[in-house]
Amino acid sequence: MIVSPAFRGKRYAVLGLARSGVATVEALLASGAKVIAWDSDAAKRDALILPGTGRGTTRSVVEGLPLNARAAIAAGGLPLHHPADGPPPPLGEDLSFADPLEIDLTGLDGVVVSPGVPLNRHPIAAKARAAGVPIIGDIELFAQARASLPAHRVVGITGTNGKSTTTALITHIVETAGIPTLMGGNIGLPILGRDPLPEGGVYVLELSSYQIDLTYGLDCDVAVLTNVTPDHLDRYDGFAGYAASKARLFAMQSECHVAVIATEDDPSRAIADTLTSARAQGERGRGHPDLIRVASTDIADQSAWPALQGPHNAQNAAIAIAVARALGIGEAAITEGLATYPGLPHRMERVAEKQGVLYVNDSKATNATSTAPALAAYPAIHWILGGLAKTGDLDACAPHFGHVRAAYTIGDAGEMFAALLAPHMPVSRAGTLERAVGAAAQAAKPGEVVLLSPACASFDQFKDYEARGEAFRALVGALA
């Protein structure tokens, strides 16, 4: 994990004990900080503790102790404290448990919250503000720890769509160049839980707007914006507020660093124009990095990149190429990285080719906007869709209906989608994924694609989109 003297002797409250919250608690404790942790789920609080320690010692901290200390803990200890038993242990303990909404926050160095906490509605925001305590996230803690880490660079990627693929693609190209790298942020494992890179390494961070809202000092060597379209408007004061959150990633940059912006939508162009204007007027200093504009039209040929098909992936590739060049990576490594990039699991993932038919798992596409790029990527598709609908239309997909040879609807939205699509294409009301895969496989001809891109959440028939994608993989694997 990342251990830094920047946190030694400081005190934090950590609200939310999912993966990133647990990694935050463990990194802070290992760095010599004192932590008040809380999650409304008692099971998550209990899971953080090594039973029998009585001091709320996390498993990771105990595993780092000498053998004799571990043996003493294993032999017993004070009873485990539960918040229901009364007040938490005094702050002299390394780890205690209390709801930040019910204690005095005065004097804390920060309240660390999960990006999922809606700061525009959650009372912790007003309480922390009244106490003069900053609300931060794990990315801000990483930013504060950077000075104590071996010399490195950071690439930060934000945007409404395409950030995960772009993050993974950049990571793959950096690895192909033989440079130590870690992928984190909104993708992969929590960054504070990872071991630091050796000197010369590159951290590649996917950053949601929520994470940027909780970050104040992340000076990315290269910052990236893929696009800005309406999203998460329940958390912002209109679309302008959401776009401003994305723009803050560049405001945190130093002038010697680089901004890469795909300028194919009006809000992204406006952010790029603001940076250009500031530099043209001589407003040097923090917040005005060098700017590289890119677009999908920069890419003339994607034929050598099997996992990067479609116009949206042309944009992702254009961004990744610009970032790699800004990092000083040579053209040979860039070319090899683009050609060998395997794609993300469940996102336009090429599962198999059988009897000339390609099977693609795009289970991560849980709304029509996410499905549209997959439909645009292939000219002859047998489309499996349905599940728990987020909207009552498929308007974002309509421009690409001409690519669909037939649709196979499943799940709760099956009937609704079948009625929407019937005027435009043949539709099979398959009902289940198993029947849909079987019917599509029987109908598809060599050169065509069987595509699972549901445009729906999965919770009607599957635990999550990953379980749905894994079921698709297994069904394809079982085909003759």
- Transcribe 88-112 into DSSP letters: PPPTTSSEEE--GGGS--TT-SEEE
Q: Which domains does the chain have, with CATH numbers?
A: 5-136 (3.40.50.720), 140-340 (3.40.1190.10), 349-477 (3.90.190.20)
Which pLDDT score, from 0 to 100, does residue 264 have? Answer: 94
The answer to whether residue 424 is catalytic is: no
The answer to whether residue 313 is catalytic is: no
**CA proximity to 136, closest of 123, 119, 152:** 119
What would the two tokens of residue 185 be? 């942020």
State the catalytic residue, choosing from 186, 227, 361, 367.
186
**CA proximity to 231, closest of 161, 295, 315:** 161
User: What are the 10-residue block averages of pLDDT along the chain, 480 residues in total?
Assistant: 96 94 94 94 80 44 42 39 41 78 96 88 94 97 98 96 93 98 92 96 96 96 92 76 92 93 95 82 59 96 92 95 98 98 90 96 91 93 96 94 98 98 98 98 98 95 94 96
Which pLDDT score, from 0 to 100, does residue 288 have? Answer: 60
Instruction: List, for residues 322-355, the tens digit of each pLDDT value.
Output: 999 999 999 999 999 999 998 889 999 999 999 9
State the catalytic residue, choosing from 122, 232, 354, 390.
232
Instruction: List, for residues 347-383, the tens digit of each pLDDT value.
Output: 999 999 999 999 999 999 988 988 999 999 999 999 9
Q: CB under 8 Å to 115, separation ≥6 — which residues?
A: 20, 137, 186, 208, 210, 211, 213, 214
The answer to whether residue 232 is catalytic is: yes
d(CA 421, CA 442) in angstroms, rounded, equals: 20
Which pLDDT score, from 0 to 100, does residue 280 have? Answer: 58
> If DSSP codes are grouped into helix, strand and coil, which group holds residue 118?
coil
State the catalytic residue, choosing from 81, 163, 246, 400.
163
